[in-house]
Structure 1
Amino acid sequence: MPNSANITLVRRFHESRMAPEVIAETVASDIVWDITPGFPGGGVYQGWDSVARDFFGPMRPNFEALGSVPEQYFTDGDGHVFVLGQYHPETKAGNKADVRFIHLWTIRDGKIAGLVQAADSHVLQQALNS
């Protein structure tokens, strides 16, 4: 898959806002989802079912909104897409924050097969605990 197609794939995932039909088309069922320690739900998840149930499931009750806003996309020509951006969460208590992130996506056979995420966990934890 050409580099620009990889960016298009990851951009489509981000812009879908987790639409199930887009997830089915863009994400490998055996995805490895690696979230930085200190971030709520930080850890490594194997497979989309685990990501949805074990990562997103426990997070949702804490937030009114937690979307990602990609700002820049880069590719390395080796099946990786790097995304710099921000989360703009709003907690159930009404606290808001601007949380910087970097995502490293791995593309395999035209699908997203891996994510390594690093984010400013401290800022997010402050919003959750204020």
Structure 2
Amino acid sequence: MRALEVVKAHYDANDRGDMAGMLAPLAEDIRWTEMEGFPCAGTYIGPREVFENVFARLAAEWDNYTCVVRELHEAGNVVVGLGNYTATHRKTGKFVDARVAHVWRVEDGKAVSFEQFTDTVLFDHAAR
């Protein structure tokens, strides 16, 4: 399976609201990094840590959190996704709309690393 297909499967599942489908393309030892300054910043190892520290946390702190990736670019085993995050902070009621870039690395049909790049200041302002 091409790297682009692996990553696209994750985003397709996201669009369907299918958490199991989102986690399925991830290797058991994936290194998933959320940018410093982002609400769930850090590096998490494995799908379980990704779910608990990223997806569950975002769902708990933000209403209508969406990630819409409009472009995917493949270069061998690396895929870059470009899109937007939108969400409303539960405590402040402030809305955020931020551009995002995701860099994926795929080996043997599984995503082995993920790194996020976004404007973390927009999220910080929405949370204050």
- Whether these two folds match at TM > 0.5 is yes
Which stretch has the larger CA shift, 30-39 or 51-60? 51-60
Query: 2:109 corresponds to which letter in structure 1?
Result: G
Output one character per residue of 1:14-59: Cα deviation in whole Å (capped at 9) or x when no partner.
1212524423531112111011100011111111111111233333
Shift of 1:125: 1.3
Kept in 2: contact 1:65–1:91 (CA 8 A): no
TM-score normalised to the size of structure 1? 0.86
Displaced runs of 4 or more, over 3 A = none
Contact 1:28/1:113 (<8 A) preserved: yes
SS in 2 for 1:97: strand
Question: Are 1:8 and 2:5 matched, yes or no?
Answer: yes
SS of the counterpart of 1:64? strand
TM-score by length of 2: 0.87
How far, CA to CA, are the matches of 1:128 and 1:62 in structure 2? 9
Q: How many residues align?
A: 125
| Gap runs ≥5 in structure 1 | none
Describe the superposition over 1:51-92 as per-residue Cα deviations: whole angstroms up to 9, x where unpaired. 111233333221112221112111112x11001111011222
- Partners of 1:40 and 1:113 in 2: how far apart? 22
Within the alignment, does 1:39 sit opposite 2:38 as a pair? yes
> More strand by proportion, 1 or 2?
2
- Report what 2:68 is aligned to: 69
